[in-house]
Structure 1
Amino acid sequence: MIPPLVTRVDILGNKELVVVFNERMDSVNAVLGSVITLSGRNIIKRQLALPVFHNLILTLDSPLLEGREYVLNIRNISDCAGNLLRESNHILALPSQADSGDIVINEILFNPREGGVDFVELNNKSRKYISLNNWALGNTKNGEPNVFSIITTDQVIMPPNSYLALTTEPSVVKEQYPVDRPQNFLEMASFPAYSNVGGGVILRDNNLRLSDKFIYSEEMHHELLSDVKGVSLEKTDAEKTSADLSNWHSAAATVGYATPGYANSQMLTDMPEDVFTVEPEAFTPDNDGLDDYTIIRYSQSVTGRIAALRIYNISGRLIRNMIDNQLIGTTGEIRWDGTDDHGQLVPTGYYLLLVDTFDTTGNKQQFKKRVIVARKGK
């Protein structure tokens, strides 16, 4: 029983909104049964667009005002199977004209896994709401702009400080990578061809002005990766230019080697030093919904660290090899559910978590953490 999901809210005009769902909706419920409100405005008409029943058109009593944010609240709306979305809130505003560099290229997968597809992730690093209507994504030939594909002809709006993954097959990308924000995808009808070896990505706005450009090469991947198929290149600092090759890095193994639609795994942090923490330090893996696992959280001051995470019992015997010399991000977390390498639950007692990290320059660090596996009394 999976409830429907609001993938986005488009603004057709200053008096009309379109709520886009990820599946067919119940027409009677959407128009008459659900509760939908917009702060500061009355919704005077609802219409579920035919024939796909994915788009709910809302007509307002008065125009939206420029420079003002509105909150759209949707409650108790159901799909055709009767699955109910209890509540969904969305902040929206009239779009503003973008300046060059407001929306930038943030991540690219140009050499997908078998059965996979390319994707390019955008980041709106401005404080504006910006429409992608008639923006275009392109490639290069001999370093110059070549073939372009229109991103969308709809009024798809990127909110401030947001991410959006562009691809021809969002479902394939979602199957192959962990997705933190499934709604942050946009399906394009066609996609520029990006070479597996090297090439260029061009982002152009609706006035044909260059918004961003990135010239990439497979040699930019981390030198210790033996296979780069299915590994994306991520920007580490959104404020630095895409032309700075040192501003790009292979996505971390701990996130599945790509982060489509959400913050990059190799994004630089303000942490002055490297930190590993364990919480809770005592946990009870009995599937009762309370402290069933412990979380090892980490924050790194630089990108490109390789890590090994091993768990030992009180006798010093290795019982779980959590990470075996894998590329980690600047931040992340790893869960241990109290099982060993054979999937068996370990006995109660004290366990040592040993973390070793190193980089290509030879810098090494080691972190030790203690954790307790316990059982609740009957």
Structure 2
Amino acid sequence: MKLLVLTFVLLSFCPVGGQERYAVIIQEIMADPSPAVGLPSSEWIEIRNRSKETVNLQGWRIADRSSQSGPLPTYHLQPDSILVVCASGSLNSLLPFGPTIAVTSFPSLDNDGDLLSLFTASGSTMHAVDYDLTWYANDLKKEGGWSLELIDQDNPCTGKNNWMASRFAAGGTPGDVNSVNGTMPDDEPPVLLRAYTINDRAVRLVFDETVDSLKASLVTSYNNSDVRPGEAFPIAPMFNEVELRLPAAMQAGLTYTVAMDAPCDCAGNAAAESRVMVGVPALLTKGTLVINEILFNPVPSGYDYVELINAGDSVVDLARGFLASRNSTGSVAGHVALSATPRLLFPGEFFVLTDDPNRLQLHFFSPARGQIETVASMPSFPDDKGVVLVTGMQGDILDEVPYSDKWHFPLMRQTEGVSLERIDPLNTSGDKLNWHSASSTSGYGTPGYRNSQSVPESSAGGLMAVDPPVFSPDNNGIDDQCFIRFSLPQAGMVARVDIFNVHGLLVKRLVQGGLLGSAGYWTWDGLNDKGQAIAPGPYIILVSLFDLGGHSRKYKMVVILASG
């Protein structure tokens, strides 16, 4: 695959309607007032003037993801002063707590999370907060009756780490200093997480936090680029994405690397050069995006997960696919989007879907959050047997695995909390011989990483070979299976594979009447035909090949089964 490099170099914040952005900030949010703890059962926000100048709020508006308030009335917010803003029906109940004004069409704040924005009269973003339930950092308080409070007003765009549930006994501090008020310095530079394409002439860069929008919007900030954008637009209201519009179209089938030098956040922290890949995504087709690992029977404190791998040679967009299962009637059900936003997956990359990434990282050596998608409600994957599917946007089935608990390694006493790993992404999805229990040394699961039981790179040559020559089926992730590889001058041969002990007794008929391609492999897990463990020692593998013309060939090899 051809690799092109687009190097983007990011060289404080724009004035917004006469004031610097973040001159006025949202510093407290009562999104879920019920059950009331000690405050009125009303939704409200509290804003603060951080600047040294009086700010007239006339014409300003408050918005969430789905709606926008009417204009705020004339109100002169003095320096270092606070103001509660609420719906008209809540004004009288909140006035006793301090300065309060009402606005028409006050947005209905989502209890589970919302994107809350404060706009000036000119429509420019003054401050925005994209909160969710994890910001409370308290399982009891997130159930309602408690406000979210900003900790350090000098770092208004830090995000989750700078917010927590109120500590005040009444459940919040409207009109007063936040109960969690303190210092939460931001010393971390922004991280360029990924990029995706809007079209072949527009690229979005995604950061983990707000970036300096003035610098990011200057085309001269990208003068060292191999392909210079004609325009650059930081995306409101969070300004954690930047859209680059290119004068020349990117070519399909090529992978580009975006390298950025010294992007800066709103606290002035500058990062070293960081790189991400981007490309024009191909259509999702069967065999490109495949199911690579399944945890369908987690421990009581865990959750299901499904790992996907891009087994093709083109970049794909996960937002164009769905995860699903089959119900009791066999119908496809429970569709959930693989990604709520555009997310590119490049050849060989892994992606994990689960209900709770935090629990996943507690139980397994899991990857960075960029490789995990939180799914509000995973499809139903029963503990004994079920079906995992990946579909396209029109319901076309891209991959399907009819898994069973019986696919686990037969000698395992406990399979709860153990994932099933696909041995070869290019081999048949529904073949139980292409699946194996994750190894004990990997923690019984490898979400986001190469499977512990994946097919190794071949080190053996010749028409027929055993790899490795010594194996130990103890499920520790090291040579747990024997791979019998073949490379034939032609396809269409029929195979029988038998395994004998040194006394000539048949212990395992591995293959009977298998139709072969020109190359491939079989696997032996070290068990006999009854699924029982056998004694360590040397075993003879006899491969008999036949074709339609009556020609036959036989290959005899020796493999050592070692004790664990």
TM-score by length of 1: 0.68
Check the 8 A contact 2:439/2:453 in 1, yes or no.
yes
SS at match of 1:174: helix
1:167-209 per-position Cα deviation (integer Å, ceiling 9, x unaligned): 2333332333213555322333442121122211011012321
Q: Which structure 1 segments of 5+ residues have no match?
A: 274-298, 307-325, 332-357, 368-378
Q: Cα 1:194–1:59, aligned 2, differ >3 Å: closer, same or farther?
A: same
Structure 1 residue aligned with 2:439, among 238, 241, 252?
252
Structure 2 residue aligned with 1:70, among 226, 243, 256?
256
Residue 64 of structure 1 deviates from its aligned partner by 1.9
SS at match of 1:231: coil
Q: Which residue of 1 aligns with 2:297?
A: 111
Structure 1 residue aligned with 2:358, among 167, 171, 176?
171
Aligned AA (1:171): N
Check the 8 A contact 2:319/2:338 in 1, yes or no.
yes
Counterparts of 1:201 and 1:82, CA distance in 2: 46
Counterparts of 1:247 and 1:130, CA distance in 2: 24
2:343 is the counterpart of 1:194: no
Of 53-62 and 230-239, deviating more is 53-62
Aligned AA (1:165): V
2:557 is the counterpart of 1:365: no
Check the 8 A contact 1:43/1:60 in 2, yes or no.
yes
Aligned AA (1:305): P
Aligned AA (2:422): K
2:315 is the counterpart of 1:129: yes
Check the 8 A contact 2:219/2:230 in 1, yes or no.
no
Counterparts of 2:361 and 2:269, CA distance in 1: 22
Q: Cα 1:55–1:170, aligned 2, differ >3 Å: closer, same or farther?
A: farther
1:142-221 to 2 correspondences below 5 Å: 142=328, 143-180=330-367, 182-221=369-408
Residue 304 of structure 1 deviates from its aligned partner by 7.6
Counterparts of 1:301 and 1:100, CA distance in 2: 35
Q: Cα 1:102–1:74, aligned 2, differ >3 Å: closer, same or farther?
A: same
1:139-182 per-position Cα deviation (integer Å, ceiling 9, x unaligned): 11244422211223533222122211122333332333213555
Number of paired residues?
Answer: 298
Counterparts of 1:242 and 1:38, CA distance in 2: 46
Counterparts of 1:37 and 1:219, CA distance in 2: 59
Hey, which of these two has a bigger chunk of strand by percent?
1
Q: Cα 1:127–1:145, aligned 2, differ >3 Å: closer, same or farther?
A: same
2:247 is the counterpart of 1:61: yes
Residue 125 of structure 1 deviates from its aligned partner by 0.9
Counterparts of 1:301 and 1:98, CA distance in 2: 39
Q: Cα 1:330–1:49, aligned 2, differ >3 Å: closer, same or farther?
A: farther
SS at match of 1:223: coil
Report the structure number with the largest CA radius of gyration: 2
Q: Which structure 2 segments of 5+ residues have no match?
A: 1-186, 461-466, 481-525, 528-532, 537-560
Counterparts of 2:395 and 2:429, CA distance in 1: 19
Check the 8 A contact 1:36/1:73 in 2, yes or no.
no
Check the 8 A contact 1:38/1:72 in 2, yes or no.
no
Of 145-154 and 209-218, deviating more is 145-154
SS at match of 2:203: strand
Q: Which residue of 2 aligns with 1:305?
A: 473
Structure 1 residue aligned with 2:288, among 82, 92, 102?
102
Counterparts of 2:379 and 2:281, CA distance in 1: 26
Of 155-164 and 23-32, deviating more is 23-32
Residue 27 of structure 1 deviates from its aligned partner by 4.2
Q: Cα 1:189–1:304, aligned 2, differ >3 Å: closer, same or farther?
A: farther
Q: Which residue of 1 aligns with 2:274?
A: 88
SS at match of 1:254: coil
1:106-155 per-position Cα deviation (integer Å, ceiling 9, x unaligned): 11111223432221111111111122233111011244422211223533
Aligned AA (1:19): L
Residue 94 of structure 1 deviates from its aligned partner by 0.8
- RMSD value over aligned CA atoms? 3.3
Counterparts of 2:534 and 2:223, CA distance in 1: 56
Check the 8 A contact 1:252/1:266 in 2, yes or no.
yes
Q: What percentage of aligned pairs have identical amino acids? A: 28
